[in-house]
């Protein structure tokens, strides 16, 4: 679906991560969510008392919106705690903009927190029993993505080496990001030689399991004017849900990103060639390959070749996942918020050694479930207004 919000009706003014990595015993998901909110507000200079819209999700709190309202002491805030998995925050951003534009709130935060590394995945994201899949013991989510990767290899000749190139490029970006979890170089051979998880995906084809959270702040153009950071604009967004369970995905090598991207591009009046910096939800190495194809950066089936030879790495032809991605920077369960944070920072020119010079338009593509929910947003810097 798409919503008719024109750019400029609400703007992004703050962005921050919580503590990342392994935060230590005793922290709750909401601790990190709130820490992200406070830091994002500090980033732009807004006091928490002005926040009147809460958009959040986490697998650890069924009533995440209530938990955040309680924690921040905001009893009257507008709440949206829709979960579409890792893409939730792209949806939150789109609806926060709509809510601000509609006057439902004036200062909205989009927030996430997770302690899945400290508590263990099985304690933080309990699998739901599905009688048509669970008896076969797919190791989810990796097996779902492995099935897509195997089909992509079968149809297009994509190789495990090409999958590994995605992890290697992510690692090279991560080495330029002081906040990234991984600190050592990685080679294609390292990826291929690491422990097999669900063929054809090894441990290094899979994202990190970390703690972490973060938030972004959305407000009216008028309120943004007096703040300390230049605003970032939501130029377009689009969403597509093709399935929930992998056995119901219509086509394993064509994702809903084709639809979500088309909607976002149309709304922004842009094409893939206008994008300066790309963020793709890289829970597994097959994801960027699929999304680069479906978002129009290369033809269907050519994603494996496209990511090879350092073309999405630092110094390559297209900067993808400049923070190091879910593969090497952090991945606390639902990663979408971090794609938004990095896009905002790139558009503000705050990224230090990994800064894409002159970045004016950023694409952040969220993925939820098992290639189930695809949510594309396109953000622009000051020059896009």
Footprint of other proteins (CB under 8 A): 131-133, 135-139, 143, 146-148, 150-151, 154, 195-200, 245-248, 252
Tell me the C-alpha distance between 300 and 292, whole Å.
Answer: 9
Minimum CB separation of residue 58 from other proteins in Å reads 26
CB of 114 to other proteins, least distance (A): 22
Provide the minimum distance between the beta carbon of 151 and other proteins in the complex, in angstroms, as a whole number. Answer: 4
Q: Which is nearer to other proteins, 134 or 271 (CB)?
A: 134
Q: Given the complex with other proteins, which of 139 and 266 has the nearer CB atom? A: 139
Least gap, CB of 120 to other proteins (angstroms): 13
Cis peptide bond upstream of 200, omega within 30: yes
In the complex, minimum distance from the CB of residue 325 to other proteins, in angstroms, rounded to a whole number: 22
* Residue found by looking up tokens 């999304």 in the block: 291
> Is residue 188 classed exposed, middle or buried when 0-12, 13-18 and 19+ CB atoms within 10 A define those classes?
middle
- Cβ contacts of 326 within 8 Å, gap of 6 or more: 207, 208, 281, 282, 283, 335, 338
Q: How far is it, in rounded angstroms, from Cα 287 to Cα 265?
A: 20
Taking the complex as a whole, how short is the minimal distance between the CB of residue 97 and other proteins, in angstroms? 31
Which value, to the nearest 10 degrees, does the dihedral of the CA atoms of residues 182, 183, 189, 190 take? -60
Please identify, using beta-carbon distances, which residue of 36 and 138 lies nearer to other proteins: 138
- Comparison of 195 and 273: residue with beta carbon closer to other proteins: 195
Minimum Å distance from CB 135 to other proteins?
A: 5
12 versus 253: smaller Cβ distance to other proteins: 253
243/311 with CB nearer other proteins: 243
Nearer to other proteins among residue 131 and residue 315 (C-beta): 131
CB of 248 to other proteins, least distance (A): 7
- Tokens 């230090």 identify what position? 352
To other proteins, the closest distance from the beta carbon of 380 in angstroms equals 38
Identify any residues that bridge with 1 across adjacent strands, giving them in sequence order. none
51 close to 96: Cβ distance less than 8 angstroms: no
Q: For other proteins, give the closer residue by CB, 70 or 155.
A: 155
Residue with Cβ nearer other proteins (9 or 243): 243
Q: Which residue has the tokens 């129009």?
A: 296
């Amino acid at each position: 679906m798409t919503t008719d919000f024109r750019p400029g009706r609400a703007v992004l003014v703050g962005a921050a991560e919580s503590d990342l990595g392994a935060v230590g015993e005793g922290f709750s998901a909401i601790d990190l969510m709130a820490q992200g909110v406070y830091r994002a507000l500090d980033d732009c200079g807004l006091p928490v008392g002005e926040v009147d819209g809460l958009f959040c999700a986490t697998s650890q709190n069924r009533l995440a919106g209530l938990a955040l309202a309680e924690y921040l002491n905001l009893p009257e805030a507008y709440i949206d705690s829709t979960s579409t998995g890792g893409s939730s925050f792209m949806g939150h951003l789109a609806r926060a903009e709509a809510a601000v534009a509609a006057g439902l709130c004036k200062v909205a935060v989009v927030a996430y927190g997770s302690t899945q590394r400290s508590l263990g995945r099985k304690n933080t994201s309990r699998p739901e029993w599905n009688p048509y899949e669970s008896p076969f013991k797919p190791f989810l989510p990796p097996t779902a993505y492995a099935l897509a990767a195997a089909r992509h290899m079968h149809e297009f000749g994509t190789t495990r080496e090409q999958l590994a190139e995605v992890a290697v490029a992510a690692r090279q970006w991560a080495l330029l990001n002081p906040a990234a979890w991984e600190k050592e170089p990685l080679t294609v051979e390292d990826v291929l030689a690491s422990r097999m998880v669900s063929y054809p995906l090894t441990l290094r084809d899979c994202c990190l399991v970390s703690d972490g959270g973060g938030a972004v702040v959305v407000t009216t153009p008028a309120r943004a004017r007096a703040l300390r950071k230049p605003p970032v604009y939501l130029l377009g967004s689009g969403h597509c849900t093709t399935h929930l369970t992998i056995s119901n995905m219509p086509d394993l090598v064509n994702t809903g990103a084709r639809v979500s991207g088309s909607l976002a591009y149309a709304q922004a009046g842009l094409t893939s060639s206008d994008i300066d910096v790309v963020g793709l939800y890289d829970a597994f190495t097959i994801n960027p390959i699929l999304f680069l194809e479906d978002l129009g950066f290369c033809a269907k089936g050519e994603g494996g070749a496209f990511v090879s030879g350092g073309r999405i790495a630092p110094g390559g032809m297209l900067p993808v996942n400049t923070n190091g991605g879910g593969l090497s920077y952090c991945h606390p369960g639902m990663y979408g918020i971090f794609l938004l944070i990095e896009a905002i920072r790139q558009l503000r020119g705050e990224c230090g050694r990994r800064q894409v010079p002159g970045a004016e338009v950023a694409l952040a593509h969220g993925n939820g479930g098992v290639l189930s929910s695809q949510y594309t947003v396109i953000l622009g810097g000051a020059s896009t207004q």
